[in-house]
Chain A
Amino acid sequence: MAVTTVPVAAPPAAPAERERPRRRTSPTATVLLLLGAAYCLLPVLWVVIASTKSASELFNTFTFTPSVHLFDNIAFLSDYRDGLYWRWMVNSGIFAGVGAAASTLVSAMAGFALAKYDFRGKALAFNLVLAGVLVPSVILAVPQYLLLAKVGMTNTYWSVLLPSMISPYGIYLCRIFAAATVPNEVLEAARMDGAGDWRAFVRVALPMMRSGLVTVFLFQFVAIWNNYMLPFIMLGDDRLFPVTVGLSGLLNQGATQPAMYTSVVTGALLSIVPLVVLFLTLQRYWRVDLGAGAVKA
């Protein structure tokens, strides 16, 4: 997996960090930053503590008093309809993993073509990409559903995977990465050596764009993992649900069976663990400079 072989060079989107001179610390800055951190950690801290509470404690003990029922809650959630919750987690992993990998490859190919070739229709293709960035994808979900229903593809993995594979913003970023990291001379040299265009792309351009591609992959992975409306509309069978749709359905049941709330809270905690791990281990890639394209102009 490309993710484990971290390249030595810094990601192209990340500029060389300037030397940070030793400066006097400011208590005001420290306090403000800690306040921001406290605000952001509060709900996370709450869900960690709340998932240790039993159903009777959830609404009746002080909010931040932990209890001892975490493993009971996880076991109860895992038993719910033969481990349906874990199916949701696996589904989220499939949607986000496969969707992001495919989207990254599609974006890399398109971005490479737009950055490194001159051809008829190039301006049109690029303008289509830009227009695509401005179209809110969520608004497409209903017509996408109606079209896929005509070919009988709704309520399948494909109905969520295929629309997730096109990312105009990913193409836009890949074009910037290809232009910035793949020198024309290197491509020329590869052609001189008899490499075809595809070989030059796979063997020369992709490795050079690698750290940028990891960023595009992570962006798309999070976007798909977090997506709610598309799977919510496309899928009817709850065995195909990703964890977002599954948990919101479980919350709906809580209105009539309050005991479900404990499972909802525990499920919420477990569902954020994979992304938090992904974040903490790959922090160096979260540095995309959205203004990069504009700064260069």
Chain B
Amino acid sequence: MASTSRRRAGAPYLFLTPALVLFAAFLAAPIGYAVYLSLRRVRVSGLGLGKGARTEVWAGLTNYARSLTDPEFVPSVLRVGAYGLIVVPVMLGLALVLALLLDAGRTRVGTFTRTAIFLPYAVPAVIASLLWGFLYLPRVSPIVDVLGGVGITAPDALSSSWVLYAVANIAIWGGTGFNMIVLYTALRAIPTDLFEAARIDGASDIQIALRIKVPVIGPSLVMTFLFSLIATLQVFAEPMTLRPLSNTISTTWTPLMKVYRDAFVRNDIYAAAATSVIIAAATFVLSYGFLKLVGSRAFSQEN
């Protein structure tokens, strides 16, 4: 039997082993492999026929140059940027307002509305896109019926000028409830005495919300913002699902869709790897930069 000190010395590594093995195999190795592939290319000799005619060689940064100068890459990045500028503020704004309304406790429909608003979290993005996709079809959309009733021709939600908002709406619908619950949980944790004094001094609910509650739940807001940002940059399921219903969504509508097309439709895994690395690096820089910017102690190491 090992002594107490020896037992304790080895134990944490054993506890960490499964996590480290999985981390190495499914996070670190794929990242390393993507970086490696992004620096490689196939050299075709002769007619490219026969064994040995196609060999993999170092490519330097040509794949990155190819990705960045691809005429479809920049528009897809700008599209996701615009999409993020709509989704993140609207979703978190709604989530915060609804959480504050629930927390103020001045309604009898709190439990019902909280459950109803949280419900979309149980609906996968693919299914949500499917449901909204049908609701966007002019023949199904109740909005078209209602507007038609008062003589207005509703715009086609899946036309090229509206499709970005149509996709954004699906993400907002799917994400508001989850973020609301996170913020509501944080609000419920605020000790009452922090704002009871202000209330006795005659502060309104809105003043209490803006001056006391919102600053106190700052760390939760930072975290919801961060996770929303990361989720936004990898939008894939919603536009992929809507494609059969709309001809305005191209195969490179978002950067991740371009990665998919390059890897599996064009069999150009080198370009796909380079684009993946660019997206991953951009996500990391944006989220890390955001954490630095707000000077947050989120993800603190308290010991």
Contacts and interface: CB of A to CB of B under 8 A. Distances in A.
Given A26-B106, A26-B107, A291-B219, A15 B27 contact: no
B94 A33 contact: no
Interface in A44-97: 44, 46-47, 50, 58-60, 62-64
Interface in A149-177: 162-163, 165-166, 168, 171-172
Given A36-B94, A107-B19, A255-B244, A291 B142 contact: no
B7 interface: yes
A287 B181 contact: yes
Interface stretch (B66-74, B77-85, B111-119): B111-119
Q: In terms of DSSP, what is the predominant structure of the interface of chain A?
A: helix
Interface size class of B (residues with CB under 8 A): 35 or more
Contacts of A60: 139
A294 B139 CA distance: 49
Contacts, number: 333
Interface string B126-156: 1110111111010111100100000000000
A89 B284 CA distance: 35
B7 A197 contact: yes
Nearest to A33: B113
B284 A134 contact: yes
A34 B259 CA distance: 41
Contacts of B133: 251
A143 B124 contact: no
A185 B301 CA distance: 21
B8 A244 contact: no
Contact of A162 (B22, B121, B233): B22
Contact of B31 (A21, A26, A135): A135
Contacts of A181: none
Interface of B: 4, 7-9, 11-16, 18-20, 22-23, 25-27, 29-31, 33-34, 37, 94, 97-98, 101-102, 104-110, 112-113, 115-128, 130-135, 137, 139-142, 145, 173, 176-177, 181-182, 185-186, 188-192, 205, 217-224, 226-227, 230-231, 233-234, 236-237, 240-241, 244-245, 256, 259-260, 263-264, 269, 272-273, 276, 279-280, 283-284, 287-288, 296-303
Interface of A: 13-15, 17-21, 23-26, 29-30, 32-34, 36-37, 39-44, 46-47, 50, 58-60, 62-64, 105-107, 109-110, 112-114, 117, 119, 122-123, 125-126, 128, 130-136, 138-140, 142-147, 162-163, 165-166, 168, 171-172, 179, 191, 196-198, 201, 222, 225-229, 232-233, 244-245, 247-248, 251-252, 254-255, 261, 264-265, 268, 271-272, 275-276, 278-280, 283, 286-291, 293-297
Closest 7 CB pairs of A and B: A291-B219, A291-B220, A15-B189, A294-B219, A143-B30, A297-B300, A37-B116
Given A139-B279, A248-B240, A248-B241, 14 more contacts: A119-B12, A130-B299, A134-B284, A140-B27, A142-B272, A162-B25, A166-B23, A226-B124, A261-B134, A279-B118, A279-B119, A286-B118, A291-B222, A297-B302
